[in-house]
Amino acid sequence: MTSGHGIDPARVDALLEAETARFEQCHPLSRQLNERARASMPRGVPLHWMANWPSPYPVYLAEATGTTLTDVDGNSYADFCLGDTGAMFGHANPVVAEAVREQVLRGSTTMLPTEDVIAVGEQLTRRFGLPYWQLATSATDANRFAIRIARIATGRDKVLVFNGKYHGSVDETQVALRDGRMVPQPGVAPNAVDLDHTTKVVEFNDVPALEQALAGEDVACVLAEPVMTNVGVVPAEPGYHDALRELTRRTGTLLLIDETHTISTGPGGYTRAHGLDPDLFVLGKSIAGGVPAAVYGMTERVAEVFLRYTAKDDYRISHAGFGGTLVGNALTLRAMRTTLEQVMTDDAYRHMAALAERFDAGVAEVIDQHRLPWHVTRLGARVEYLFSPRAPRDGGEAKRFRVPRLEAAIHLYLLNRGVLLTPFHNMALMCPATTEPDVDIHSAVFAECVKELVS
C-alpha cells in the first residue's frame, strides 16, 4: 500500500533496516571512534548536528579534497553536501590552501587591518551592489549584527521572518507558525527571548499577511532568504519580491536579504540575478573558501547609523558590540580575497550550473519513469528533490510535504554506495571540482534505490 508520496511505508522501513546493517558493516572504525568520543563529547561530536545523519553514528572523516571525501574506514564519497554549503567551492581548493598557508606563516590575527580589506570591499560592492561592508565569523553572527543595526536605525524592536526559515541560531528568529500562531521552534528554549516583543512570523509568498504584519510600523527589518532553502526549496512567486520591497519601504521597515545558501544562483547571488535592492545583506559559509567568515553589507543610509553608533568616544573604552576579536583578521581576509577573486568566478559558476542541470535531469528521469508524485528543483548550482508533485508555496506546505523516514532511507542507501547528500533535506550542491561522472554515479544509485522502493 503506497502513501501520498507514492511509496509503501513498509518498504521504507525494510530498506532503512537493511541499509543500517550495511552501514555498520562498512564503518567499524567510525563506530569505535564514536564510542570513544562519546566519553567526552555529547554523541561523540563537536557540533550536535554532526550526529544527525541517517546512520546510527556519523562517518568520521579522514580527508576531503575537491569533491571527494574519504572516511577513516577507507570508504570514499562523491560529496554533494559540501559541508552544507561551507565548502561550496570545493574541499582543499589548492589556490585557497596556498593563500592560507602563506598568510598563517605571516601572522593570522593582530587587530590591524591588512591591504586585502580594499580588494574584499571592492569585490563585494561590485558583486552585490551595496556600498559598505563589515565582516563576522559566521552567518549567524552577521544576521545578529544586521538585525542590531536595523533596530538602532529604526528605533523598533521586532524582526519579521518567514515560517520554515533558518538564519542561524539567532534566538529571536527561532520561531514557527502553528495553526496560525507564532510558537518557539521545537528544540529552542521557549524562554530565551520574549518573542511577542521581538518577532513576527508569516508565511512566504503571502502578500496580505505581510502587509498586515508590517502595518503597525513596529518591525525593524524583514529577514528573508530570497528563495527559501532550509525547508526544501520554496521559490518566490512572480511579483513577490516587488511586493516585499514596496511594503517594507512604505512602512519604514528595512529589508535584510540573507544569501548564505542562495549564492548558488550565480556570482552575484540571487540579489544581482534578480535585481533585488536590499538595505542589508548577509552572506556566510562559503565566502572564505572554508575559513570561518561572513559579511554583511549596508546602504549609505544604514552605514551612517553604523558609523554614529560605533564612533570613537574620546579615547574611552568602548564595548559597542558588532563583531568579535578574530573577525576580519589577516587570515580571514586573505582567504576571502582569494575566494572572491580566484574561485567564485563566472567560469566556475557556469561549470557548476551545467552539472546541476545534469543532476536535475537524472533525478527527473527516475521520477518520470516511475510516475512518482515527486519533483526536483534547481537554483543555479543547488538541486533539491521533494516528495511532492510541485514546489511548495510556503514553509508550512513544505513541512507538510516532508517524509523524514523515506528521506533517511534514500540518504543512507546513497551514502552506503559512495554518494553524500546534505542530511536535513535532499539537497545536492555542485562545486568547481564536481565532475560528470560524480553526477552520473548519483543518478545511477538514485535510480537503483527508487527501483527497490517501488518494486
Ligand X SMILES: Cc1ncc(COP(=O)(O)O)c(C=O)c1O
**What is the contact surface with ligand X in residues (CB under 6 A)?**
138-140, 143, 166-168, 225, 230, 258, 260-261, 284-285
Give residues with Cβ within 8 angstroms of 264, minimum separation 6.
85, 88, 352, 379, 380, 381, 382, 429
Give least dist CB 424 to ligand X, A: 9
Rounded Cα gap, residues 386 and 5, in angstroms: 10
Q: Does residue 195 contact residue 184 with C-beta atoms inside 8 Å?
A: yes
Name the residue nearer to ligand X (CB basis): 267 or 292: 292
Nearest distance, CB of residue 233 and ligand X, angstroms: 12
Of 140 and 329, which CB lies nearer to ligand X in the complex structure? 140
| Residue whose C-alpha is closest to residue 443's, from 419, 416, 422 | 419
Q: How far is the CB of 265 from ligand X (least distance, A)?
A: 13
Chain position carrying cell 564612533? 311
3-state secondary structure 58-74: CCCEEEEEECEEEECCC
Which candidate, 401, 448, 453, 407, places its Cα nearest to that of 54? 407
Nearest CB to ligand X, comparing residues 173 and 248: 173
Minimum Å distance from CB 26 to ligand X? 29
Q: Cα angle at 263 between 84 and 440, to 5 degrees?
A: 60
Q: Which residue has the cell 573604552?
A: 317
- Shortest Cβ 88–ligand X spacing (Å): 12
Using the minimum distance from each CB to ligand X, give the nearer residue, 261 or 337: 261
- Output the CA torsion 328→334→337→342 (10° steps): -150
When the beta carbons of 90 and 290 are compared against ligand X, the nearer one is 290
At its nearest, how many Å lie between ligand X and the CB of residue 259?
8
Q: Smaller CB distance to ligand X: residue 138 or 198?
A: 138
**In terms of CB distance, is 143 or 434 closer to ligand X?**
143
CB of 137 to ligand X, least distance (A): 8
Nearer Cβ to ligand X (323/373): 323
Rounded distance between C-alpha atoms, residue 192 and residue 48, angstroms: 19
β-pair type (254-258, 280-283): parallel
Report the nearest approach of ligand X to the CB of residue 141 (Å): 7
375-379/382-386 β-pairing? antiparallel
Q: How far apart are CA 171 and CA 149, in angstroms?
A: 16
Least spacing, CB of residue 32 vs ligand X, in Å: 29
How near is the Cβ of 160 to ligand X at its closest, in Å? 15
With respect to ligand X, which residue has the nearer C-beta, 226 or 362?
226
**Least Å from the CB of residue 10 to ligand X:** 34
Q: Which three cell numbers mark 227?
A: 528563495
Dist CA 298 CA 308 (whole Å): 14
- Closest CB to ligand X among residues 167, 417: 167
For residue 284, the minimal CB distance to ligand X (Å) is 5
Q: Is 70 helix (H, G, I), strand (E, B) or coil?
A: strand
**Which three three-digit cell numbers place residue 169?**
541560531
Dist. CA 277–CA 263, nearest whole Å: 16
Q: Is the dihedral of CA 342, 347, 348, 349 positive or negative?
A: positive
CA-CA-CA-CA torsion sign (291, 51, 261, 347): positive
Q: Are 263 and 205 in contact (CB under 8 A)?
A: no
In order, the DSSP letters of 218-274 are: -EEEEEE-SSB-BTB-BPPPTTHHHHHHHHHHHTT-EEEEE-TTGGGG-TTHHHHHT
**Residue whose C-alpha cell reads 537524472 in the numeric block:** 362
Q: Given the complex with ligand X, which of 145 and 349 has the nearer CB atom?
A: 145
Looking at the Cβ atoms of 9 and 324, the one nearer to ligand X is 324
